[in-house]
Structure 1
Amino acid sequence: MWFHLPSYGQGYSLEGDGRYPHRAHYETYKGRMEGHAMKILVLNGSPKRDKSDTMHITRAFLDGMKEAAPQDIHIIHTIDPHIDYCTGCFSCMRNGGTCIHNDDMKAILEEILDSDLLIWSFPLYCYGMPAPLKALLDRTLPLSSMAMQKVGDRYEHVGQADFSHLKYLMICGCGFPNSRHNFEPAEAQFKLCFPGGHTIITVPESPMFNAPEAAVVTVPRL
């Protein structure tokens, strides 16, 4: 569904289901929230940390989650941890999941496995995710083994850890006025990496949500 909203000087467009970021998808996880605090890990891929336009939208989503039930939320700004690049040596896939790098990624992997919901929050960089977040994604390789299995019409690696309980959410913003021909590469990668239990929220013209002069238009929709 497309809808068009008046804003300062120009039209604002958002592609979605007619609801807004913090209300749009938290119902998806409502069943998991009843009776206990859901553990939510947010991976903020923006080098701007809390000043990120996309992170502003993500916080609105988290506020919507809190309306349903108390949540245990931890945010990692991926620009901060020491995360070496994956070298593609595949040692971790052969030795039970131990990476050759001794850095912060080991603790992050443990926190990922201990979470109920993993939120990937990032602005669109060259039609994909920023480098710090991509480095983290590459380093999740220890969760997989060299063994492969056929699922439907595709092959995927067999996991070395149990992450079947995990749900995945991608929140991605960009400065372009429309979603089409912009978010498709990032969406395709996310769907292939997390084929089950994922939700995707894409927000064009996301800087408007973080602009004080646009608050009269954007705040009611957050």
Structure 2
Amino acid sequence: MKILLLTGSPHKKGTTAALASAFDRGAAEAGHQLTRFDTAFMKIAPCLGCDHCRKNGGRCVHGDGMEEILPALLEADLVVLVTPLYYFGMSAQLKAVIDRFYAVNAALRQSPKKALLLAASGDDEPGVMEALVLHYQAVLSYLHWEDCGMLLARGMSTPEDLADAPYLLQAEEMGRRPLGER
């Protein structure tokens, strides 16, 4: 299976980086082909809504890191979105990438894909991730992608918080069996 993992945290050794690495381990162990982009460390400009991409075969006016991401996105069977929760939503870095899906929108909507969401929040209140989940579900609904699960790690501000929690093992298992197979 071809898996595209997109992280959105600006912290190379943060909580969601640890979750993404656990997922990576599981996917590698299972023999999946995984491509990972840590989007916060790439030059990716926000979408301008200028339609340049629509008039030029998907080529954006920016000519940035999305030129690496889009081919992997189009080839992927499964897209894994990994983000810290920043004020009730995904990180701006990951959001910029998702906004830029617009360049290949028609192809994405016609390509059956599956998706997973891995997210971490320092806050542990039950409803803290509701807006993030709704946004994720709206994107999947629009693109006609199938949701294969979510790992919502509440109350996990730092990687050290993960030590006594089940989330790293769960992320690794999701990598091994990304479509929830038993």
Q: Against the structure 1 CA distance between its residues 84 and 220, is the aligned structure 2 distance closer, same or farther, given a 3 Å change threshold? A: closer
- 1:167 corresponds, among 105, 111, 114, to 114
The alpha-carbon distance between structure 1 residues 211 and 184, as it changes in their structure 2 partners (threshold 3 A), is same
Residue 44 (structure 1) aligns with: 7
How many Å separate the matches in 2 of 1:56 and 1:219?
13
How far apart, CA to CA, are the structure 2 residues paired with 1:110 and 1:192?
Answer: 23
Change (3 A) 1:220 1:133: closer
Inter-CA distance 128–78: structure 2 relative to 1 (3 Å threshold): same
1:188 to 113, 122, 134: 134
**1:1-222 equivalence runs, <5 A:** 38-49=1-12, 51-67=13-29, 69-144=30-105, 159-161=106-108, 164-178=111-125, 180-195=126-141, 196-198=145-147, 199-207=149-157, 210-211=159-160, 215=163, 217-218=164-165, 222=169
TM value normalised by structure 1: 0.66
Q: Is the 8 A contact 2:5 2:37 kept in 1?
A: yes
**Identity %, equivalent residues:** 31
Query: Could you tell me whether the CA contact under 8 Å between 2:11 and 2:17 is conserved in 1?
Result: no
Q: Return the structure number with greater helix share.
A: 2
The aligned residue for residue 8 of structure 1 is none
1:102 Cα shift?
Answer: 1.4
Q: Deviations over 1:128-157 (max 9, x none)?
A: 11111111111111112xxxxxxxxxxxxx
Tell me which amino acid in the other structure corresponds to 1:194.
Answer: L
Q: Distance in 1 between matches of 2:139 and 2:23?
A: 22
1:162: Cα distance to partner? 6.5
What is the distance in 2 between the residues matched to 1:186 and 1:107? Answer: 26
**Using CA pairs below 8 Å that are at least 6 residues apart, which structure has the higher relative contact order?**
2
Q: Deviations over 1:176-213 (max 9, x none)?
A: 123x32111111111111123113221101236x217x
* Matched residue, 2:173: none
| 1: CA distance, partners of 2:86 / 2:111 | 29
- In structure 1, C-alpha distance between the alignment counterparts of 2:102 and 2:31, rounded to whole Å: 32
Aligned residue pairs: how many?
A: 165
TM-score of the superposed pair, with normalisation by structure 2: 0.79
3-state SS of paired residue (1:43): strand
CA shift digits 1:17-46 (9 cap, x unpaired): xxxxxxxxxxxxxxxxxxxxx222211100
Unaligned runs of 5+ in 2: 170-182
Letter in 2 for 1:200: M
Residues 19 and 167 in structure 2, CA contact (< 8 A), matched pair in contact too: no
Cα offset, 1:59, TM superposition:
2.6
Q: CA–CA distance in 2 between the matches of 1:108 and 1:220? A: 27
